[in-house]
Structure 1
Amino acid sequence: MSGEYLSNLLTHKRTLFSLLSLLAIILLGYGAKNLYFKSDYKIFFDKKNPQLVQHEHIESEYTKSDDITFIISTSANDLFNEQDLTALLEFTRDAWKLPYSIRVDSVTNFQNTYAEQNDLIVEDLVPEDVHPEDTHFAQLKKTALEQIELVDFVLSADAKTTSVSVLLQMPDDEHAKDAASHEAVMAARELVQKYTVNYPELSIHLVGQTTVNFTFNELSKRDSGFWFPIMFLAMSILLVLLLKSFSGMIISLIIIIASVISTLGLMGWCSTPLNQVTAALPVIILTLAVCNCVHILNNFYYHLADQQNKTTALLNAMRTNLQPVFLTSLTTVIGFLSMNFSETPPLRELGNWAAIGVTFAFIYSLTLLPFLARLLPAAGRKKSSGKFGQAYSQWLYRKRTSVFTVISLIVIGLLIQIPRNELNDNTIGYFKESVPFRQAADFMQKELTGFDSINYSLACGSSNCVNEPEYLKKVEDFSKWLKQQPEIVHVVSYTDIIKRLNRNMHEGDKPFYTIPESRELSAQYQLLYELSLPFGLDLNNLINVDKSALKVTAIIKNQKAQQLIEIEKRSASWLKRNAPELNSPGAGISLMFAHLGQRNINSMITGSILALVLVTLTLIIALRSLKYGLISLIPNTLPAATAFGIWGVVLAEVNVAVAVVFSFTLGIIVDDTVHFLTKYIRARKEQQKGTIESVEYAMSIVGKAVLVTSAVLGAGFTVLALSDFNVNAYMGAMVAITIILALILDLTLLPLSLFHLDK
């Protein structure tokens, strides 16, 4: 089917195609009722991800990590006074009442132990009734600060800050789990509000894994519900100003809305949930869908200004833009589909659904736009003289050597900055500092303990073997080594408990703060201790059910991806040298993200190269010219590369989303190149113009459209950069920078390359 025939068909049968499009929009849009949000951090990982597999193994062996933790700090000298301890006791009791709560750990219910003759006494550190006349606050403080299991973990060294950690038993069903997270966090916020009113000297912050999941969900909904309307309004204003046509703005917005509705509706029909990353889809589709509209409408108004009637102008606009619109849509789809090389499922989903959204935008720009353009009034306007495009092209030709030199020096200067970038994913850094959770996590790291942790499940080989002295000593040696690492602020290990019990049963003598000498003695102490523990405070967070393994947790403060991986490597090396039979991979949520970022970069290099090859081959075939296809490499590869150079100067840190920017933007920035080259080739081959005249022609025809689309795209992704979720914000900022650089290079290096290579 020839382009001429298809253009005639789409123009003259526009009513039929518009009705079919409307029917498709209604049917697809109805599926949006099935959309829901999924905010679990595990969605970022494939099921076979080795770090996720180990993390889930540890969760299956020990208590799961779903929790809400309250960080409580006082303005008094310390927490060990009547008012603050009373508040902590009440708060701990109320924390048990939170939805899905199965365990609460706080400084008040820390299980303090001591011996009376041959009896082991296990009781709460702080008695239920606190009275100044019979409570020795100084002694309580001294006892608490002597417990290495508490300091720099549950209680700060200055005793001003503490934590109350609530373990939750969440539903397995993902729909129910999100609802449960919302219920639990909202109840926790109400609890915080209640106690900050009743005890104004206390400041209370919320952290914990369930809080993280809820914050992901909350920010996703805010991005889609807040930024999309703002972007929609900004897009409307930009289109009116740049197209100078109210009806053109209306047509573009209808195509945009239709594309977004169809994409989200199809997601609903496919039962694909929205998540933290794909919540940005409406803004992305809104931004990309406008490009085809601008090029077709700009050409339509150009022909109207040439005194053509609407049908003829529409036919000429369709004929002129059918191939470039198809090519730009195809290359954009290729770029997005290359994101399937990403190690991150949400980024793969973003690429796939963005590709589908671009496809819908392409279809509706050919089927719905002609009907709307013919139906709505189009105010006449003066025909552009093309003088600016002509004058700019002539100036560029005269100054080609100096402009080429300046642009080349700038590009080279930016390219050499790329190595400054380093992968440094940071779980806390996924959130901007304005987000309450980020503020809480920063406060916790400053005043109490670390946010990140690495867990090790050290198996002894058989059931009930955890009390073997030789095994316990090796676990203790590993725990001691971890404590010596400068990045680690606390280590949670069962060996600290068994050493404390051994000392208790030897009249508190410090020399007996060691591993018991026999298995029988360790087992006896463990049994006495477990029988004395209150409901909900068992040892399953440290010992697995059949007592064949112990969990050791290293708490780490203020470290990023590379440092976490380095700590893991050092730990693995120590175990291999000193306790090879215990060697076990570390696991932890932050460690999972650290490895994910590195693998994502490696996989996306392959994806980006493949996308570049496919896009270049597409252009070579479509333009029927090896030379023009290779020339297109210049404005197609340099924008993203130079953007990474700017990023290296400004921020120098790459997260999991920034790694996909080259593939993400490749198909987008090809848009301007394709439209410029197709008009240039038409002038060269059909109108037999020379190189300079062909550049002038292309600049006059597409110059304005290129400026409009770049402005709209840049504005759209700049809005995304304002997201409080830094994965989306960094990606939006990088894409916006890349688009602006692509515009500059398309208007300078591309025509300069044609001047030199197509004489």
Structure 2
Amino acid sequence: MDRLALFLTRRRVPIMGVVALVTGLAILGMTRLEFDDGPRRVFRAEDAAYGLLESVYRDFGADDNECVVVIEADDFFREPAPSALRELGEACSAVQGVESVLGLPESVVFSGIFPRPLLPPASAGVQAREEARQRAANSPLVNGHLLSEDGKTAVLFVRLAGDELYVSEVEPRVEALREAIDRWEERTGFVARLTGIPPVRVEIYRAVREETLVFLGGGAGLCFLLTLVIFRNLRAVLCTCAGPVLGAIWTLGFLGLAEIQIDIITTVLPALVVVIGFTDAVHLMVDMRRARLVSGGVQPGQGASRGASERLAASRGAIADLGMPCLLASVTTAIGFGSLALGSMEIIRGFGLAAVAGVLLTFSAVVVVVPLSASWAGDLGGILPGTGPALARWRNRFGRGMDAVTRHPGWVGGGGIALIASLLLLSADLEPDNRLTEATPHDNESFLAMLRYEEAFGGVLAGYVLVEWDESVNLGSGVVVEAVRTVEGVLGSREELSNPFSVVHFLDAAGLEPAALPGLIDILPSDVTGRFVRPDLRRALVAVSFPDIASEPVGPLLASLQEELHALADEMPGIFLHLTGTNVVARENINGMIVDLVRGLAFAVGVILLIISIEFRSWRLGLISLVPNVLPLAAVAAALAVTSQPLQVTSSIVFSVLLGIAVDDTIHVLARFRREHAVDGDLRAAIRRTFLVVGRALAITTTVLIAGCSVVLCSSIPSSRLFGILLCFGLLVALLGDLVLLPALIVLTARPRSTRAPAGE
């Protein structure tokens, strides 16, 4: 790094000109950035399950385009309720982009094979209304599906036209539906709320869009102010922040120029690269301030104004001494993210590649911009070590604490390893799981309506069993009906699921035999039966409701259902059964994405071991470096297990951020220790000097990052709040690991009578 440091500092002006040019191109790229709000991108995969789901979309219509209007009333069969329901259906049907509406006004009862409306006309008498109420309670088409068992809650299903709708397309339709419902409420006095997958998606994307800018700005502002308080010098803070901020700008510009769209996952990338870059920037700034003060012999209160040669030498020294640790940390982090490109999910592959580019671009920005801008900055503040009374007291206390750690390395190191083992054991049963509502603000109409729907009907999210039959099976032979009934029995036996529904319910409502099913399908409206059966394709669907808000991890349930359905299909010649649906495939694929993230962490840990061992020419240091890096991950995993939280996408990203920061800090500690140990070969003295210098930088970065991340605790999105809590907790544990465990392990594993730096071992 000496040659690079000399090159950069001798050609500061042209190099900063290149920085300005790259920044200009990045800003141009940012103007071309587009947000990918296609919700299916989150769980799209190149596998058989997603291919089957797409065929279900094509043959039966998309199941994630259906809004649900939840209506509450004391009596839906007494005027003015029936008329109000008809008016609500008409109002929703009139909204542009609505394909169909299905509710009590559209539901039917049968007189023989012929259907007739369930709701009585407005002029009907009391007896007719009572009869309608009784028919609804006994109807397999209505009870538990369109009307709750207590008769107090009804639903209206509003299907939006189109196949794969982007949130930007759905949002105006959802807003129009809300306006129509609001006007209906004013006219009739009834209460209705809109929910379902489309409105919930709109709420999620809107919250992410609005809060991302607010919390990025608020967190950055708080970090800036706290860094100013710590450094007490505006120039030092501006130089420190310039590198990470430019790194984020370059990253976004690269995405724009490469025509890579920002999605719900990559929205965290700017904050991620700023966090990782900030740790390196602080290390560089602390080193430069110290070098300037020591070389100039500053005394308290002198102001530390330095000439150009001293400033340039300090910047050159920072690049030469810390450039390689920064590079190693960035390469390690980039390789860890790059491993995500091997995953099965399109969105996670894109995130991995974008993160690699972001980490490397931010490294370049930090290593170039921070020291070079500081070389022009004049006084960077600071107090010469040992001269300030407050700093002297801190150094004495910190030094005594470090001496206590190095005097008892066995107890500290052994206790730390035992703690990690206990934490990993505690989190051994942690399973991946995801819910639609984990990212849904809980104070909005969609969430409250979904909660009421789950209470009344069991769950707004649907799963399906696709029943297929070959040419040897006739729809009217009874084999298909028997297969569908058997599937309904399997689904109905699971207490987690509710309200199985299929075309057989129309047969039961009409009181007909299986042989009459083809004729019944011909009589009923195709937009109703077409959702559940396609005789021309020899396909039928059995729908079932899944809970989302108050549910256990659904992975084991889906696995056992798949196994039972396969066993059933083996017993029914000519019948094929497949578990599918947006809810099912999304949950399984997003869980797979979580597994990919965790596997990427495991791969990154191996890379850390390899790179540190090669750079420091010591497998011993490589192995002991893993301990403080694994500690925060184990602590966060155990915290999730203790609080009964599943492993979510949010927490998986927290692991990646923590590992990146922990690796960065560990490499800086080891690099400084190598330098200090080379001075006199005194192991404990080298450790003391190392942590008196690097420990300050670690404390600064941890304090500032915790303050910045704490802003997210005010988010309305539960997963964002969880991200902030876990990251703050993990950062604190990572600091303790580097300040307590790492020095103890260095002493504990040191070779006897070693007087040389680890590089020479």
Per the normalisation by structure 2, the TM-score is 0.89
Q: Corresponding residue for 2:616?
A: 623
Paired residue total: 727
AA partner of residue 217 (structure 2): P
AA partner of residue 499 (structure 2): H
Question: Cα–Cα, structure 1 residues 623 and 399, in superposed 2: closer, same or farther, change >3 Å?
Answer: closer
1:564 aligns with 2:557: yes
Q: Corresponding residue for 2:22?
A: 24
C-alpha contact (below 8 Å) 2:348/2:593 kept by paired residues: no
AA partner of residue 674 (structure 2): I
Q: Say which is worse superposed, 455-464 or 492-501, in terms of deviation.
A: 455-464
Q: Say which is worse superposed, 364-373 or 718-727, in terms of deviation.
A: 718-727
Q: Match for 1:34 among 28, 32, 35?
A: 32
Distance 1:514 1:689 in 2: 93
- By how many angstroms is 1:252 displaced? 3.0
- By how many angstroms is 1:562 displaced? 2.8
- By how many angstroms is 1:461 displaced? 2.1
1:380 aligns with 2:381: yes
Question: Cα–Cα, structure 1 residues 471 and 629, in superposed 2: closer, same or farther, change >3 Å?
Answer: closer
Q: Say which is worse superposed, 709-718 or 157-166, in terms of deviation.
A: 709-718
The SS at the match of 1:477 is: helix
Q: Corresponding residue for 1:70?
A: 68
Root mean square deviation of aligned Cα:
2.7
Distance 1:694 1:401 in 2: 19
Q: Corresponding residue for 2:543?
A: 553
Distance 2:539 2:417 in 1: 61
AA partner of residue 448 (structure 2): Q
Question: Cα–Cα, structure 1 residues 263 and 700, in superposed 2: closer, same or farther, change >3 Å?
Answer: same
The SS at the match of 1:552 is: strand
Q: What CA deviation, in whole Å up to 9, does each residue of 1:665-689 have, x standing for no partner?
A: 323211111111111111112x123
Q: Say which is worse superposed, 265-274 or 349-358, in terms of deviation.
A: 349-358
AA partner of residue 546 (structure 2): I
C-alpha contact (below 8 Å) 1:420/1:649 kept by paired residues: no
Question: Cα–Cα, structure 1 residues 62 and 464, in superposed 2: closer, same or farther, change >3 Å?
Answer: farther
Q: Match for 1:589 among 582, 590, 597?
A: 582
Question: Matches of residues 170-185 of structure 1 in structure 2 within 5 Å?
Answer: 170=162, 177-185=166-174
Q: Corresponding residue for 1:86?
A: 83
- By how many angstroms is 1:657 displaced? 4.2
The SS at the match of 1:123 is: strand
C-alpha contact (below 8 Å) 1:69/1:207 kept by paired residues: yes
Question: Cα–Cα, structure 1 residues 396 and 435, in superposed 2: closer, same or farther, change >3 Å?
Answer: farther
Q: Say which is worse superposed, 260-269 or 697-706, in terms of deviation.
A: 260-269
C-alpha contact (below 8 Å) 1:29/1:266 kept by paired residues: no
Question: Cα–Cα, structure 1 residues 688 and 491, in superposed 2: closer, same or farther, change >3 Å?
Answer: same
1:323 aligns with 2:324: yes
Q: What CA deviation, in whole Å up to 9, does each residue of 1:569-616 have, x standing for no partner?
A: 354145235425322211022222332355345545543332222222
Distance 2:561 2:316 in 1: 64
C-alpha contact (below 8 Å) 1:453/1:588 kept by paired residues: yes
1:493 aligns with 2:490: no
The SS at the match of 2:61 is: coil
Q: Corresponding residue for 2:691?
A: 699
Distance 1:489 1:626 in 2: 56
- By how many angstroms is 1:740 displaced? 1.9
AA partner of residue 371 (structure 2): P
Question: Matches of residues 448-459 of structure 1 in structure 2 within 5 Å?
Answer: 448-459=457-468
The SS at the match of 2:263 is: coil
Distance 2:471 2:69 in 1: 39
C-alpha contact (below 8 Å) 2:463/2:580 kept by paired residues: yes
AA partner of residue 125 (structure 1): L
Distance 2:174 2:25 in 1: 37
AA partner of residue 153 (structure 1): H
- By how many angstroms is 1:348 displaced? 3.4
C-alpha contact (below 8 Å) 1:459/1:549 kept by paired residues: yes
Q: Say which is worse superposed, 602-611 or 296-305, in terms of deviation.
A: 602-611
1:391 aligns with 2:388: no
C-alpha contact (below 8 Å) 2:140/2:508 kept by paired residues: no
AA partner of residue 55 (structure 2): H
- By how many angstroms is 1:732 displaced? 4.7
Distance 2:446 2:331 in 1: 41
Distance 2:351 2:661 in 1: 15
Distance 1:578 1:150 in 2: 32
C-alpha contact (below 8 Å) 1:255/1:365 kept by paired residues: yes
Q: What CA deviation, in whole Å up to 9, does each residue of 1:279-332 have, x standing for no partner?
A: 222222222221221111111111222226322222222222212221222222
Question: Matches of residues 283-294 of structure 1 in structure 2 within 5 Å?
Answer: 283-294=271-282
Q: Match for 2:147 among 133, 143, 155?
A: 155
- By how many angstroms is 1:691 displaced? 0.7
Distance 1:488 1:563 in 2: 13
1:44 aligns with 2:42: yes
- By how many angstroms is 1:444 displaced? 0.9
Q: Corresponding residue for 1:363?
A: 364
Distance 1:91 1:615 in 2: 61
Question: Cα–Cα, structure 1 residues 112 and 610, in superposed 2: closer, same or farther, change >3 Å?
Answer: same
Q: Which runs of 5+ in 2 are unaligned?
A: 297-305, 387-391, 753-761
AA partner of residue 21 (structure 1): V
Q: Corresponding residue for 1:669?
A: 662
Q: Match for 2:730 among 738, 741, 745?
A: 738
Q: Match for 2:237 among 235, 243, 249?
A: 249
AA partner of residue 542 (structure 1): F
The SS at the match of 1:7 is: helix
Distance 2:574 2:18 in 1: 67
AA partner of residue 20 (structure 2): L
The SS at the match of 2:536 is: coil
Q: What CA deviation, in whole Å up to 9, does each residue of 1:318-374 have, x standing for no partner?
A: 222212221222222122223334444333333332332222221112322234213
Question: Cα–Cα, structure 1 residues 437 and 574, in superposed 2: closer, same or farther, change >3 Å?
Answer: farther
AA partner of residue 622 (structure 1): E
Q: Corresponding residue for 1:506?
A: none
C-alpha contact (below 8 Å) 2:100/2:159 kept by paired residues: yes
AA partner of residue 526 (structure 1): I
Distance 1:526 1:403 in 2: 74
AA partner of residue 163 (structure 1): V
- By how many angstroms is 1:21 displaced? 0.9
C-alpha contact (below 8 Å) 2:650/2:723 kept by paired residues: yes
Q: Corresponding residue for 2:648?
A: 655
Question: Matches of residues 279-678 of structure 1 in structure 2 within 5 Å?
Answer: 279-306=267-294, 307=296, 309-385=310-386, 387-388=395-396, 389-400=398-409, 403-404=412-413, 407-408=416-417, 410-462=419-471, 465-501=474-510, 513-516=511-514, 518=515, 521-527=516-522, 529-530=523-524, 533=525, 537-544=527-534, 546=536, 548-557=538-547, 558-559=550-551, 560-566=553-559, 568-569=561-562, 571-573=564-566, 575-576=568-569, 578-600=571-593, 602-604=595-597, 606-659=599-652, 661-678=654-671
Question: Matches of residues 4-23 of structure 1 in structure 2 within 5 Å?
Answer: 4-23=2-21
Question: Matches of residues 151-230 of structure 1 in structure 2 within 5 Å?
Answer: 151-170=143-162, 177-202=166-191, 204-230=192-218
Q: What CA deviation, in whole Å up to 9, does each residue of 1:721-758 have, x standing for no partner?
A: 65544555545543433322111011011101112222
